[in-house]
Structure 1
């Protein structure tokens, strides 16, 4: 968290930024915005875990994801096994996109999964607008679970994208257009 805030502080102080979080970053971008509200113009949640206040990501996982995450933690922070990752992340990808995705697997920090989250310091959506991009073919966070997380985000624009979990790889142009339409419209 501190390194992300330091990165934000390193940007030109005259510029406000759009924070786009994917998956586990749903617990990070609200905290960054709470720490630097004057620097953040918009929050975009792309198929993000957004647990209820005081809950953990692990509390919100499906039983299968809990088993996978527990195994990764027990075996000293290993990445998701490639066979499981391919099923979870690559269901809408070309062979080239799948190879790229699987080559970049890294361990997740266990604290992200098991530390309670808070959004108490986050300014209201009238100060920092929010968009949630719901991925309709997601095998990591089902569309129904994303609906619950959208509710936890609160007052936000919801956009749907016919893509899997890693839409930034499988549907990058559609995703970019979706973000531009949402964020760009608010800046005009």
Structure 2
């Protein structure tokens, strides 16, 4: 049995995984959606990048979880990639869902994001509805994401990543959502040339836990199983 620790991207909470969790549990696995500090029901809690890494490590350690599959969507690929190096032999696999990956000494936020965070009192404001168009989402899904999103604590985006284990050593799957473009970025492209990383594609947008939750769940189950499918197009 695998234990899936599911971490949503910027602005979102554990609620983002509610259509994925039942599929994983029905297959006999544990599923643990995480809300990072400062977001959703944890709004108001101070949070930086190291806080978010500890949120993930703490979820694993509190539950004494083994055979852990860490799943990071979008921004959360950065703390997930760091947490993967901190949980030792508890780790079975990492799945980056259309995600950023940590680069040692670098932060998520570039100059544009840093300026926006500064202009909004230290928080990165959620995107308006128009930014979610063309991503395979229904109007109702877009409304729900916008309604339930939380301004993202800026310190988590501006603090640099600290890697304790090279990403190339991690057993990892990268899920590229093609409606958001087919280029995973130079860092990920290089990692995919290694023996421990593989690529999976989805014909949907950047938020597949909403637009294609069952397909995403199947990909996660494949990632947890030895010899899973290398490429999926749905």
What secondary structure sits across from 1:133 in the alignment?
strand
Is 2:158 aligned against 1:158? no
Q: What is residue 158 of structure 2 aligned with on the other side?
A: 114
Shift of 1:164: 0.8
Q: Which structure has greater helix proportion?
A: 1
- TM (norm. structure 1) is 0.78
Q: Residues of 2 paired with 1:6 and 1:89: CA distance? A: 35
Q: Distance in 2 between matches of 1:123 and 1:58?
A: 20
Conserved 8 A contact 1:20-1:29: yes
Partner residue, 1:62: none
Could you tell me whether the CA contact under 8 Å between 1:72 and 1:107 is conserved in 2? no
| Contact map agreement 2:69 2:94 (CA 8 A) in 1 | yes
Structure 2 residues not aligned, in runs of 5+: 1-52, 229-234
Aligned residue for 2:70? 19
Q: Which runs of 5 or more residues in structure 1 are unaligned? A: 60-65
Aligned to 2:3: none
TM-score of the superposed pair, with normalisation by structure 2: 0.64
The match for 1:104 is 148
- Structure 1: which 4+ aligned runs deviate by more than 4 Å? none
Count of matched residue positions in the alignment of Structure 1 and Structure 2: 172
- Separation in 1 of the partners of 2:55 and 2:222? 29
| Matched residue, 1:9 | 61
CA RMSD between the two structures: 2.5
8 Å CA contact 1:68, 1:80 repeated in 2: no
SS of alignment partner, residue 159 of structure 1: strand
